[in-house]
Amino acid sequence: MPIYEYFCPKCEFRFELLRPLSCAEQGAACPHCQGEAQRVLSKFASLSKGEEATFSTSSCSGCTATSCDSCH
């Protein structure tokens, strides 16, 4: 099952959900305010043989290469 990223415009909370492909286009209830959140495009890393992993920086200074839990 893929992980999808969602954004709630009501409370501006961003979160992830593990959902089946059949639910890919459905909205989700925000875990903070229960508002209707919409799926957003997620960033991903792509590596070729011999390359080191690099992660793009975001406007959030609390993010790490392994988790964005500190942003919530």
Domain count, the chain: 1
Q: In sequence order, what are the beta bridge partners of 13?
A: 8
Q: In sequence order, what are the beta bridge partners of 15?
A: 6
- The whole model's pTM is what? 0.59
Q: What confidence score (pLDDT) does residue 41 get?
A: 86
45 phi/psi in degrees, rounded to 5: -105, 145
Domain assignment of residue 25, given as a range: 1-38
In a domain, 53, yes or no: no
Q: What confidence score (pLDDT) does residue 22 get?
A: 92
In a domain, 59, yes or no: no
Region 39-47: what's the mean pLDDT?
Answer: 79
In a domain, 6, yes or no: yes
Angle at 17 between CA 25 and CA 72, to 5 degrees: 125
Helix (H/G/I), strand (E/B), else coil: 23? helix
In a domain, 1, yes or no: yes
In a domain, 72, yes or no: no
